[in-house]
């Protein structure tokens, strides 16, 4: 007999939940500043900086998503006493989604009455160690908060339907409002949940229309407060609605660089190996989810059947939309993990004696393997394309660019106030984040023929001929200073985006001479 089988169901569930809390925190909180900033993170950090310094946010229907992440991101910044964009750092930014990921791992507790305590415990533990959830809990993007608010919406909504309590109606509406204020794709989860409820339409008659009205009002109010920047931009909610047709419908359905086949998400989850890297997979979760789906269908329990339909509908929607980025799968993967918790509980219920011990061992091994993968993904392979969750990511070379510029600034009389020209016809982010303390940056999409060259010039590789012609051929004789390459080996901002760097020879010579040259330290 397994030692764990001698414990009561409540104690086993409590043990699983304690393990989930410890694993979630251990995998999400350490070393948040070590991974290079993704371009998307850096753009959102810049918007948070404007909100931090000026108290201003205006919803942009062309992109960047809702403001919930930014307003919640203000909390750790304020608690840390940060008042300027330049003083933000990666740990402060990523703390908000990391806490969101930890809280998400606890949400199965709210559904324990519907799925069972053992199922809730296993779902919590799988959420805590799921490689995709761990990795994106360490990202300053809206996805983890969207998953958290969606989980709260599902739990509150079902409890409301089951109890008719006004408090749960308000909680469900507020959660839907937070989903809406976090990211536009919330509409997919809301639509899937509504469609999955249709088999139980008869139960809706028991709901008081007044409570339904309160729930809708709570959702609209919460979303409007955030989207209007707490009343500063009354047009924000309307811009949000317009964005579906002006931006996101076309982006989601038209071919583009983020178009992937229908099976893209499941390919990432089932098996991913790139070159000599490790094999990443969450196949154990999918296998348990299949067992949970079978159990849900056969059990006839309303919530389990709802969950199965919801997961199937949402996964289908995301799979059919051509536009795909790997973090989008979190919305339906959460539902799959809830089903996986049910599958694990069913396997334990259906076995006894040595077979039960074997099931415990297999489940423990699968959980340990997921935790090991998550540790690799979060740390060693955090910016490595051999990690399936690394997507269009900044390479660690960005630290070389930053450090070389710091060294050149230490040799210049103006320090970081020296002029730097950055010439790129592609997305330059996250360079503006790493150079946020440099006041005299000039950004160009091509060689500025009439501008005087700065002491330091950066450009993308394809623009090097035009930059060289500008530095030498377009300048009068006697005013042409020699420029030296500042990188002896290729450096890449992102895969395929090589950065070339040049420094005036006089500055380069002082830099090479070291601190004894008398230049001040960067300020």
**Per-domain residue ranges for the chain?**
3-31+101-380, 397-517
Q: What's the chain's average pLDDT?
A: 90
pLDDT band at 519 (very low <50, low <70, confident <90, very high): very low
Decide the pairing of beta strands 491-494 and 420-423. Answer: unpaired
Does residue 377 contact residue 383 with C-beta atoms inside 8 Å?
A: no
- Mapped onto helix, strand or coil, the DSSP state of residue 471 is helix
Q: pLDDT by residue (tens digit) across 402-448?
A: 999 999 999 999 999 999 999 999 999 999 999 999 999 999 999 88
Tokens of 104: 């998400």
Q: With 90 as the cut, is the pLDDT of residue 138 above it?
A: yes
Distance of CA 493 to CAs 41, 278, 392, Å?
Answer: 14, 24, 10
Question: What's the rounded mean pLDDT across residues 379-408?
Answer: 96
pLDDT at 516: 44
Q: CA 30 to CA 18: how far, in whole Å?
A: 19
Find, among 388, 197, 206, 362, the residue nearest to 284 by Cα.
362
Q: Which residues, in sequence order, are bridge partners of residue 458?
A: 422, 501
Place of tokens 């985006």: 497
Q: pLDDT by residue (tens digit) across 31-57?
A: 999 999 999 999 999 999 999 999 988
Does residue 226 contact residue 66 with C-beta atoms inside 8 Å?
A: yes
pLDDT band at 515 (very low <50, low <70, confident <90, very high): low
Question: What's the rounded mean pLDDT across residues 482-502?
Answer: 93
Provide CB contacts within 8 A for 225, sequence distance 6+.
231
> Residue 422: phi, psi to the nearest 5?
-120, 120
Q: CA 34 to CA 383: how far, in whole Å?
A: 10
Higher pLDDT, 88 or 250: 88
Q: With 60 as the cut, is the pLDDT of residue 351 above it?
A: yes
Question: What's the rounded mean pLDDT across residues 482-507?
Answer: 93
Distance of CA 449 to CAs 406, 419, 427, 470, 472, Å?
Answer: 27, 17, 21, 6, 11
Q: pLDDT by residue (tens digit) across 164-190?
A: 899 999 999 999 999 999 999 999 999
Does residue 435 contact residue 413 with C-beta atoms inside 8 Å?
A: no
Q: CA 250 to CA 396: how far, in whole Å?
A: 33
Q: With 80 as the cut, is the pLDDT of residue 477 above it?
A: no
Task: State the virtual CA torsion across 74, 80, 84, 85 in degrees, nearest 10.
Answer: -60
Provide CB contacts within 8 A for 120, sequence distance 6+.
13, 17, 108, 109, 111, 112, 341
Q: CA 130 to CA 489: how far, in whole Å?
A: 37
Q: Which residues, in sequence order, are bridge partners of residue 29?
A: none
Q: CA 134 to CA 23: how far, in whole Å?
A: 10
Model confidence, pTM = 0.92
Distance of CA 496 to CAs 377, 457, 492, Å?
Answer: 22, 20, 7
Own/partner pairs, 360-368, CB within 8 angstroms, 24+ separation: 360/2, 360/4, 360/5, 363/122, 366/284, 366/288, 367/125, 367/126, 367/129
The pLDDT > 90 percentage for the chain reads 73
pLDDT at 240: 79
Residue 281's Cβ-side half-sphere holds a number of Cα atoms within 13 Å equal to 11
Q: CA 460 to CA 492: how far, in whole Å?
A: 9
Place of tokens 């490790």: 278
Task: State the virtual CA torsion across 236, 239, 240, 242 in degrees, nearest 10.
Answer: 160
Q: How far is CA 264 from the centre of its chain?
A: 18
């Amino acid at each position: 007999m397994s030692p764990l089988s001698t414990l009561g169901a409540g104690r086993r569930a409590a043990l699983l939940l304690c393990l989930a809390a410890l694993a979630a925190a251990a995998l999400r909180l350490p070393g948040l500043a070590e991974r290079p900033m993704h371009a998307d993170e850096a753009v959102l950090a810049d918007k948070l900086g404007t909100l931090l310094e000026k108290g201003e946010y205006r919803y942009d229907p062309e992109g960047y998503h809702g403001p919930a992440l930014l307003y919640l991101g203000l909390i750790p910044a304020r608690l840390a006493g940060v008042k300027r964009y330049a003083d933000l750092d990666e740990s402060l930014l990523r703390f908000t989604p990391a806490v969101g990921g930890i809280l998400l791992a606890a949400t199965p507790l709210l559904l324990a009455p519907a799925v069972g305590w053992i199922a809730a415990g296993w779902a919590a533990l799988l959420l805590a160690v799921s490689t995709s959830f761990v990795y994106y809990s360490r990202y300053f993007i809206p996805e983890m908060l969207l998953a958290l608010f969606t989980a709260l919406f599902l739990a509150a909504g079902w409890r409301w339907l089951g109890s008719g309590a006004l408090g749960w109606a308000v909680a469900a509406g507020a959660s839907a409002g937070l989903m809406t204020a976090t990211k536009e794709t919330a509409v997919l989860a809301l639509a899937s949940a509504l469609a999955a409820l249709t088999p139980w339409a008869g139960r809706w008659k028991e709901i008081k229309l007044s409570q339904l009205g309160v729930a809708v009002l709570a959702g609209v109010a919460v979303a409007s407060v955030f989207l209007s920047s707490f009343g500063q931009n009354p047009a924000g909610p309307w811009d949000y609605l317009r964005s579906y047709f002006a931006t996101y419908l076309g982006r989601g359905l038209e071919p583009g660089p983020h178009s992937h086949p229908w099976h893209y998400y499941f390919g990432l989850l089932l098996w991913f190996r790139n070159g000599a890297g490790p094999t990443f997979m969450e196949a154990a979760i999918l296998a348990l989810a299949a067992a949970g789906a079978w159990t849900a269908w056969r059990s006839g329990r309303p919530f389990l059947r709802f969950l199965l339909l919801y997961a199937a509908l949402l996964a289908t929607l995301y799979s059919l939309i051509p536009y795909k980025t790997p973090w989008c799968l979190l919305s339906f993967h959460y539902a799959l993990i809830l089903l996986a918790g049910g599958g694990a509980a069913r396997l334990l219920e259906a076995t006894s004696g040595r077979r039960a011990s074997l099931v415990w061992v297999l489940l423990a091994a699968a959980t340990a393997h997921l935790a090991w993968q998550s540790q690799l993904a979060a740390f060693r392979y955090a910016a490595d394309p051999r990690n399936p969750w690394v997507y269009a990511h900044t390479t660690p070379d960005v630290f070389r660019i930053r450090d070389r510029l710091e060294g050149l600034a230490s040799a210049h009389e103006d320090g970081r106030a020296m002029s730097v020209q950055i010439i790129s016809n592609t997305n330059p982010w996250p360079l503006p984040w790493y150079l946020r303390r440099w006041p005299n940056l000039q950004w160009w999409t091509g060689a500025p023929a009439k501008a005087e060259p700065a002491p330091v010039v950066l450009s993308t590789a394809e623009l090097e001929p035009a930059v060289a012609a500008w530095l030498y051929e377009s300048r009068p004789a006697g005013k042409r200073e020699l420029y030296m390459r500042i990188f002896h080996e290729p450096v890449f901002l992102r895969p395929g985006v090589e950065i070339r760097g040049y420094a005036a020879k006089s500055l380069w010579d002082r830099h090479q001479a070291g601190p004894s040259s008398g230049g001040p330290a960067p300020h």
